[in-house]
Amino acid sequence: IYNTQRDQVPQLLDKSGLKDTGPLVSGTYDCKEDYNGDYRFAPIEEAQVSRAMIKRYFNMMYERAISDVVIIGAGSAGLSCAYHLATSRPDLKITIIEANVAPGGGAWLGGQLMTPMVVRKPADRFLTELGVPFEDEGAFVVVRHAALFTSTVLSRVLALPNVVLMNATAVEDLIVRPDPTSQGQGQRVAGVVTNWTLVALNHDTQSCMDPNVITAPVVITATGHDGPMGAFSAKRLVSMGLLKELGNMRGLDMNRAEPAIVNGTREVAPGLIMTGMELSEHDGSNRMGPTFGAMMASGIKAAREAIRIFET
Ligand code: AHZ
């Protein structure tokens, strides 16, 4: 409870409404935490709320127009990658672009909308690192609720100072440049082309709504298997001529699928590392269905690949 006096409530905006009067000092507001009928909030002008959001969001966009790493997709692979990369290399500016309003991809539930999440060993080590509790069933472990993993990795990632997440933002295209290492023959990925997802979904109903761009020497794509937006980069590599054809995801085989995804995590085109289930569409590997260890381990491997690129 603040010790407040009504007559000390400051003028929050100047008369024109254009200039902030600076940060408010606690102790000068009429506010009280009283659940017996006299709960009072510190005063605010509506424009302050707008400005509090706008200046932070657009400063962040301005700053992240040049990033070190862009991660496309905040599913289990993208988030695991972001955590490992950001904690290993706190010097890198890591920008995650997620098309959905809610980050987390398919990792809010286990299989067939049931809540438990199965993780095969040794990927349980990542759960231990994050402090996510699980039950040990021998060859695999079970997290009581998939959302416990996803909310934990998400909150850890968001708390890291070198990571920003732009959700409700879709990657619409990749930036490409001539690859200096290939005598003018090849191309390398040098960033992403973004738009608000609601705009991206309406290109066929409105005339041209141009996008925005973020440059980055390393892009990590984690957009999942085929779906409304899934396998985005794999498909774009085909239409750009950097990949002859999609391998297409094969039927379910947990024992083949999980190691194939982890061991296949790599720089699939210069400047572009692919992780998670998007790789199954790129390489034509099996799906594993509701077991998530490969997504975590693939994310970690993608982070290691990025670190390798920065160190060479
Ligand atoms: O919204 C997508 C999701 O959160 C996001 N995404 C896709 N395209 C995007 C784009 N721009 C920005 N163009 C985009 N974001 O990427 C995220 C992918 O998450 P996911 O959980 O679908 O993929 P994952 O590879 O991290 O995990 C897949 C887990 C498995 S395995 C499996 C099976 O074998 O059937 N099914 C799932 C969901």
Predicted pLDDT at 181: 79
194 lines ligand 1 (CB under 6 A): no
**Beta carbons of 190 and 216 less than 8 angstroms apart:** yes
**Beta carbons of 191 and 213 less than 8 angstroms apart:** yes
Predicted pLDDT at 184: 61
If you average pLDDT over every residue of the chain, what do you get?
91
| Residues 15, 52: Cα–Cα separation, whole Å | 19
What CA dihedral angle connects 166, 171, 177 and 181, to 10 degrees? 80
Share above pLDDT 70 across residues of the chain, in percent, rounded to a whole number: 89
| Residues 3, 45: Cα–Cα separation, whole Å | 21
124 lines ligand 1 (CB under 6 A): no
**Beta carbons of 188 and 267 less than 8 angstroms apart:** no
Residues 6+ apart with CB under 8 A from 207: none
Predicted pLDDT at 307: 98
pLDDT at 25 over 60: no
Tokens coding 296: 């975590």
Predicted pLDDT at 180: 80
- pLDDT, average across residues 194-201: 96
**Beta carbons of 154 and 75 less than 8 angstroms apart:** no
pLDDT in tens, 288-311: 999 999 999 999 999 999 999 999
110 lines ligand 1 (CB under 6 A): no
Per-residue pLDDT band for 186 (boundaries 50, 70, 90) equals: confident
- Name the least confident of 14-23, 111-120, 293-302: 14-23
Predicted pLDDT at 31: 82
**Beta carbons of 100 and 108 less than 8 angstroms apart:** no
Predicted pLDDT at 30: 75
**Ligand 1: distance of its center to the CA of 105 in Å?**
5
Residues 6+ apart with CB under 8 A from 78: 71, 72, 96, 98, 105, 220, 222, 275, 276, 299
Predicted pLDDT at 3: 46
pLDDT in tens, 28-64: 667 889 999 999 988 888 888 998 999 999 999 999 9
What ligand 1 atom has the least distance to the C-alpha of 171? 11
| More confident position, 272 or 227 | 272
77 lines ligand 1 (CB under 6 A): yes
Residue type, 231: A
293 lines ligand 1 (CB under 6 A): no
Ligand 1 probe mutation, 223, 280, 281, 287, most atoms within 8 A of CB: 223
**Ligand 1: distance of its center to the CA of 279 in Å?**
11
Predicted pLDDT at 45: 85
pLDDT at 244 over 60: yes
73 lines ligand 1 (CB under 6 A): yes
pLDDT at 19 over 90: no
Predicted pLDDT at 2: 45
- pLDDT, average across residues 163-184: 91
Q: What is the DSSP string of 167-187?
A: ESEEEEEEEEEE-GGGTTS-E
- Name the least confident of 30-34, 99-103, 125-129, 230-234: 30-34
Q: What is the DSSP string of 232-259?
A: HHHHHHHHHTSSSS----EEE-HHHHHH
Predicted pLDDT at 17: 52
Q: Which residue's alpha carbon is at the smallest distance from atom 17 of ligand 1?
A: 73
Ligand 1 probe mutation, 98, 114, 203, 286, most atoms within 8 A of CB: 98
**Beta carbons of 265 and 273 less than 8 angstroms apart:** yes
pLDDT in tens, 143-166: 999 999 999 999 999 999 999 999
Predicted pLDDT at 7: 42
What ligand 1 atom has the least distance to the C-alpha of 170? 11
Residues 6+ apart with CB under 8 A from 48: 12, 13, 20
Residue 224: count of CB within 10 angstroms of its CB: 23
Per-residue pLDDT band for 227 (boundaries 50, 70, 90) equals: confident
Which stretches of the chain are DSSP H helices? 46-64, 76-88, 124-130, 146-159, 197-200, 232-240, 254-264, 278-283, 293-311
- pLDDT, average across residues 89-117: 97
Token look-up 């995801």 returns 249
**Beta carbons of 207 and 200 less than 8 angstroms apart:** no
